[in-house]
Amino acid sequence: MFVDLLGQHFVHNALVAGAIVAVVSGAIGWFVVTRSASFAVHAISELGFTGAAAALVLGIDVVIGMIGGSLIVGLVLGLLAVRGRERDSAIGAVLAFGLGVGVLFLSLYQGYATEATNLLFGSIVGVSDRQVLELAVVATIVLTGVVALYRPLLFASVDPEGAEARGVPIRALSVAVFLLLALTTAEAIQVVGVLLVLTLVITPAAAAQRLTVAPARALFLGIAIALAATEGGILLSLAQPWPTSFFISAISFAVYAVARVASAHGRS
C-alpha cells in the first residue's frame, strides 16, 4: 500500500512541492527569527487567508489572492518598521481586522467549504503540475532575493546602527525582507495551511540557531530541518492517514525540542 502510493504522480508532486517550500521557508527563517518577527509571519499568513477568501468570492485564482494579501501586509509591516511593544500591538490590530474581513468573505462565498479548510490546514496531496511550477517560480524569486541581499540584510538584522553608519539602506531592507517573507508565506500556506506556516518558517530556523551560532551554517541547517519535516511528514501521512500538517509540525517541533535540550547542556 505504502509502496504503491510512492509510485503515484500526486505523491511525487507533493514531495516536490514540499521540498520547494521547505527550502524557501528555511532560508528566510534565519532572518525572521533574528529579527524576532514570528508574530509578523503569523499576521502575513492570516491576511494571506483573507486575500484567498476574497479571491474565492471574486472567482479568481486563490493563489493570486493569497500572494496579493500577503504582499500588502508585508509591505505595510515593512513600512511601519516600528519596534518592540508598538509593533506588537500594531500587528495584532491589523491581524484581527484582516481575519474578520476574511470571515466575511467566506460567509459570502457560496462554494465548497473544503476550499476554506484547505487554506487553513493545508492540502499538500492535491498539488497539481501547474501549482508545482508556480511554487518553483516564486521560490526562485525569493531565493534570488535572499542571496542578493544576504550580507546587508544580515548586517541590518543584527547591528542596525552599525549597518546604517556604513550606508546600508536599513529601511528599504526592512521592506524587502517583509516582501520576501510574504512570498514565502504564500508558498508555505499551500503546503501546511495558514495556521501552521510558523512550523516551517520559524521552528526549523529557531532550532538551527540553537545548534549553531555561525549564521551561514544555521541558515543551511534550518533548510535541512524544514526539508526533513516536510518530506518526513508527507511520507508518514501516506503510511498513517492523519493530516500531513500534523506530521510536519510534529517533526519540526521534535527537532526544536531536542535542539533546546541539547543547547541547554552545551551552553549554560
Q: How far is the CB of 34 from other proteins (least distance, A)?
A: 7
Q: Is 45 strand, coil or helix? A: helix
- Smaller CB separation from other proteins, 53 or 175: 175
The rounded distance, in Å, linking the Cα atoms of 58 and 212 is: 47
- Smaller CB separation from other proteins, 121 or 155: 155
Q: Which of 1, 3, 113, 165 binds other proteins (CB under 8 A)?
A: 165
Q: Which of 154, 186, 197, 226 binds other proteins (CB under 8 A)?
A: 154
- Does residue 151 belong to the site contacting other proteins (CB under 8 A)? yes
What would you report as the CA-atom Rg of the chain, rounded to the nearest whole angstrom?
18
On the CB side of 232, CA atoms within 13 Å amount to 17
Q: For the window 175-214, what string marks contact with other proteins as x by the rule CB under 8 A?
A: ----------------------------------x--xxx
Q: Which amino acid is at 263?
A: S
Give the closest residue to 249 by CA, choosing from 205, 211, 192, 194: 192
Q: How far is the CB of 92 from other proteins (least distance, A)?
A: 22
- Does residue 148 belong to the site contacting other proteins (CB under 8 A)? yes
- Does residue 167 belong to the site contacting other proteins (CB under 8 A)? yes
Q: Which three cell numbers stand for residue 123?
A: 492540502
The rounded distance, in Å, linking the Cα atoms of 234 and 243 is: 9
Q: Which three cell numbers stand for residue 205?
A: 530556523
Residues near other proteins (CB under 8 A): 30, 33-34, 147-152, 154-155, 158-159, 161-168, 209, 212-215, 218, 267
